[in-house]
């Protein structure tokens, strides 16, 4: 009878999902045919469970964000405590509260150099849009309103708000709507390409350059050697504000606290989200250097900073973020990410040895990818991912721009044995597809 009730509930939920829930970034017609693949019910560590009783490895930490792993009761407790005390309060104008103040201080302590002041948002898209508006505001205050172009890299992903969609360098996101915002441009990932763009357009028309330390959604692409040092120099010489989008890479994902730390880069602005709460509550932010913030203060006079979201500095999200960061520090997870990152690369090397269809691999900490080439017209990564599902792992295929890539970003708490389990599943899935 139990089983029957559960089956009935499952079928009911599938029907309701199809009727009433438009899924983000989804194939909506296919969804009507197939319904939801998983209806998740709970999670623990690197595993998710669904309503049909399947236990699945979450090899991408859901959306590169559940960094400390699923089922952390401590975060639930801190959220409940904060909600019971002060579930919401505005931070507009001069209002404040302790969780947002403590978190802003903690972010200042963790971020490199003099990145010391944070504006909070609900996520990464809003963080990037905030940065784009802020740099334009800054140049306007400096008497250069025509210095407004935002330059980003091809294959970048910066989110789906109007500005962040426009900065994203992946065509399918542009094609979804009629046109991207004006004054957004995409360049190839070389210092020469940026130089050529500046020469052509004029530095006096360019407000900022934005990049991820490691491109995530675009296929886990590591930067060319020396690229960031050179790009930062070019930006300095041309008075172009350098924005690092650390939405995926922030808070330990790459085996250092921030991706920027690998390249000894202190950007003028850093955007953060995802890993700041490990996904337990929505939160993002734009972090400014002291130099930029002081200048903004001086330039503003009696003018307003006319930008703010209702949920900027949400007290529950901030309390959750503080506890999440405490756990990362207490459990030495960034160090662990470095070690497990090496295990992951060893696993990728094994896959390469055993499969002709594995062309290459790359990784930094627990952010990695395997490049496939089976000599077929169609990419095989989606088929490999389907085979992974059958074997108890949720995988991620990247097929933008003719790529055929498997991306990995498991929770920081993954063990050596679990890395091997993941690799074994990918191995078996490749065998099934080949």
User: Which residues of the shown chain bind ligand PLP in the complex (CB under 6 A)?
Assistant: 63, 123-125, 128, 157-159, 212, 216-217, 245, 247-248, 273, 284
Closer residue to ligand PLP, CB minimum distance, 374 or 407: 407
Closer residue to ligand PLP, CB minimum distance, 58 or 245: 245
* Edge-first strand listing for the sheet containing 284-289: 115-121, 284-289, 269-272, 241-245, 206-211, 149-153, 184-187
Q: Which helix (H) or strand (E) holds 433?
A: helix 416-433
> How far apart are CB 202 and ligand PLP at their closest, in Å?
28
Q: Are 152 and 169 in contact (CB under 8 A)?
A: yes
> How far apart are CB 154 and ligand PLP at their closest, in Å?
14
* Edge-first strand listing for the sheet containing 405-408: 358-363, 368-372, 405-408, 396-398
Closest by CA position to 290, among listed 269, 305, 274, 309: 269
Q: How far apart are CA 321 and CA 250, in angstroms?
A: 13
> How far apart are CB 256 and ligand PLP at their closest, in Å?
16
Chain residue whose CB lies nearest ligand PLP? 124
Q: How far apart are CA 24 and CA 167, in angstroms?
A: 19
Closer residue to ligand PLP, CB minimum distance, 69 or 250: 250
> How far apart are CB 387 and ligand PLP at their closest, in Å?
25
Closer residue to ligand PLP, CB minimum distance, 45 or 216: 216
Paired residues of 393 in beta bridges: 57
Q: Which helix (H) or strand (E) holds 272?
A: strand 269-272
**What is the CA 422 to chain-centroid distance, rounded?**
21
> How far apart are CB 365 and ligand PLP at their closest, in Å?
15
Q: Are 117 and 290 in contact (CB under 8 A)?
A: yes
- CB count in 10 Å sphere of residue 375: 7
Closer residue to ligand PLP, CB minimum distance, 167 or 374: 167
Closer residue to ligand PLP, CB minimum distance, 398 or 425: 398
Q: How far apart are CA 58 and CA 411, in angstroms?
A: 8
Distances (CA, A) of 397 to 220, 383, 385: 11, 9, 7
Q: Give the Cα-Cα-Cα angle 293, 299, 303 (nearest 5 degrees).
A: 100
> How far apart are CB 24 and ligand PLP at their closest, in Å?
9
> How far apart are CB 9 and ligand PLP at their closest, in Å?
30
Closer residue to ligand PLP, CB minimum distance, 221 or 357: 221
> How far apart are CB 345 and ligand PLP at their closest, in Å?
21
Q: How far apart are CA 193 and CA 199, in angstroms?
A: 10
Closest by CA position to 340, among listed 61, 54, 42: 61
> How far apart are CB 62 and ligand PLP at their closest, in Å?
11
Closer residue to ligand PLP, CB minimum distance, 273 or 426: 273
């Amino acid at each position: 009878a139990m089983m029957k009730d559960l089956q009935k509930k499952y079928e009911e939920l599938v029907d309701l999902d199809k009727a009433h829930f438009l899924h983000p970034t989804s194939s909506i017609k296919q969804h009507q045919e197939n319904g939801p693949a998983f209806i998740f019910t709970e999670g623990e560590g690197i595993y998710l469970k669904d309503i049909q009783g399947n236990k699945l490895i979450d090899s991408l930490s859901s959306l590169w964000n559940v960094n400390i792993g699923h089922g952390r009761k401590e975060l639930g407790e801190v959220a409940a405590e904060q909600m019971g005390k002060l579930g919401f309060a505005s931070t507009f104008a001069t209002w404040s509260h302790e969780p947002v103040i403590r978190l802003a201080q903690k972010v200042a302590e963790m971020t490199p150099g003099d990145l010391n002041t944070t504006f909070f948002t609900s996520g990464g898209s809003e963080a990037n849009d905030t940065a784009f508006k802020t740099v334009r505001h800054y140049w306007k205050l400096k008497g250069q309103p025509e210095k407004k172009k935002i330059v980003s890299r091809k294959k970048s992903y910066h989110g789906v708000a109007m500005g962040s969609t426009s900065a994203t360098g992946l065509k399918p996101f542009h094609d979804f709507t009629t046109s991207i915002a004006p004054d957004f441009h995409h360049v190839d990932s070389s210092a020469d390409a940026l130089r050529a763009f500046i020469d052509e357009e004029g530095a006096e028309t360019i407000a900022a350059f934005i990049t991820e330390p490691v491109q995530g959604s675009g296929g886990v692409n590591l930067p060319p050697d020396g690229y960031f040092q050179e790009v930062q120099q070019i930006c300095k010489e041309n008075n172009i504000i350098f924005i690092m989008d650390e939405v995926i890479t922030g808070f330990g994902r790459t085996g250092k606290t921030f991706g920027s730390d690998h390249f000894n880069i202190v950007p003028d602005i850093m955007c953060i989200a995802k890993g700041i709460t490990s996904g337990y509550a929505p939160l993002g932010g734009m972090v400014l250097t002291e130099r930029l913030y002081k200048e903004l203060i001086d330039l503003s006079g009696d003018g307003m900073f006319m930008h703010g979201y209702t949920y900027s500095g949400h007290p529950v999200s901030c309390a959750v973020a503080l506890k999440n960061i405490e756990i990362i520090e207490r459990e030495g997870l960034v160090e662990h990410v470095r070690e497990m990152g090496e295990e992951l690369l060893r696993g990728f090397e094994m896959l390469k040895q055993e499969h002709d269809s594995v062309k290459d691999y790359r990784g930094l900490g627990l952010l990695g990818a395997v490049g496939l080439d089976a000599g077929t017209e169609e990419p095989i990564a989606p088929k490999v991912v389907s085979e992974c599902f059958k074997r108890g792992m949720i995988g991620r295929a990247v097929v933008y721009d003719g790529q055929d890539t498997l991306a990995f970003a498991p929770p920081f708490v993954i063990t050596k044995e679990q890395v091997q389990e993941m690799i074994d599943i990918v191995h078996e899935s490749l065998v099934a597809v080949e």
